[in-house]
Amino acid sequence: MTRLCLLSAALLLVAGCAGGASPSPFDQATSSASASPTPGEPAFTEIVAWSSATPLPYMTPTATLPPEASACRADQVSAGHAGWQGATGSMLGGFLIWNTSAEPCRLTGRPSVAILDRAGHRLNVIDVPISSPAVQPIVLSAHQPVPVLYEDVPGGLGTVMVQWFNWCATSPIEPLSLAITLPTGGVLHAPVVMGSTPRCDAPSAGSTMSVGNFNVTAGPSPTDPPAVPAEGLRVALEVPGQATAGQTLHYVAILTNPTASPINLDPCPAYMERINSVGGWVVSDYILDCSGVPTIAPGASVRFAMELDLPASLPPSDKAAIVWSLDPYYSEGFPPRSPAAKVPIQVVAP
């Protein structure tokens, strides 16, 4: 299953969403710092040990750059399925680009992106680049399939991560859309299918959107752990009040089966854990250790130990949040509908 951490990331994102966006798992997630299963539900009293097992690396297509792969023109490609979700007050997500022409074409660098309201008026948002490794050109093959919203993303499509910060003006008239200007010129338009405006953190400052370089989607992988249906599990977190940069954060993720049927955890699903902070974020992907808990019985809860290594460079913040999600996509422009939880946490210096 294609994942992007933005972010991606990508994943990832989350202290609150503004506006009237459709609810995502992060909007519906637990916000208590010590959330517990509903009273009366059977639960394992012991905590399942943390496992350092990680999902297999995502196999990015090794697209070569044939001489005939000229730079993509706006009339050769389409964009769509733009979206974002709350990431500690900002909005984190992205969009997809695919080749509709009969010839391969090349994308290099990053596009410029403007946000438009329903009438097509440009919002007062400054486009800034995301700090990233050296630019690598990607090649889009001819006649690429049109991606389907909320389904696995085909491999080899273009993808761009965006993060929108600090919206303090009045709410724009939705639906929003993106005007995407390619490095070679020409503009693509992509509807925003999920997401709204970010939180106002600094009324005297402007609003910005960070835009990443062109990347390529990896495509579904048959070796990935399966996704667990959103309606099949509830997630809650037991998290300490603060996390120290440069140390390992220890906490507990509680999975509860509210249904009348057992939920199979064989093979064990992957999960993403992330800390979002005003000054940066940390993202990791692991696989649950389900060797002793292959199923969760109806009405039962299981407690899993969690670990997240925090770099010493993570800036202190009293507006951070830890986000935990089962088997997430990264930021292919449409966030997953999978079980998730978020809890505020303070990041302190070493």
Query: Can you spell out the DSSP letters for 84-149?
Result: EEEETTEEEEEEEEEE-SSS-EEE-S--EEEEE-TTSPBPSEEEEEPP-SS---EEEPSSPPPP-T
With beta carbons less than 8 A apart as the criterion, state whether 116 and 178 touch. yes
Q: What are phi and psi of 202, to 5 degrees?
A: -140, 90
Structure token pair of residue 28: 């519906």
Q: Which residues of 166-201 are buried (b: 16+ CB within 10 A; e: fewer)?
A: bbeeeebeeebbbbbebebeeebebebbbbbbbbeb
Q: For the chain, 350 residues long, give each residue's pLDDT as a single digit of tens.
A: 333 333 333 332 222 233 333 333 333 333 333 444 443 444 445 889 998 888 765 544 444 455 568 899 999 999 988 888 776 678 888 899 999 999 999 998 889 999 999 999 999 999 888 765 556 788 999 999 888 877 778 888 999 988 899 999 999 998 899 999 999 889 999 999 887 888 888 888 899 988 988 988 877 665 555 556 656 788 999 999 999 999 999 999 999 998 888 888 877 888 888 888 776 678 888 888 888 888 899 999 999 999 999 988 888 888 888 989 886 543 333 444 567 788 999 999 98
> Can you give the residue ranges of every domain in the chain?
43-57+228-327+341-348, 70-216
The answer as to CATH 2.60.40.10 being correct for domain 43-57+228-327+341-348 is yes
Which amino acid is located at 27 in the chain?
D
Which whole-number Å values give the CA distances from 151 to 71, 81, 285, 329, in the listed order? 28, 11, 21, 10
Total-model pTM: 0.56
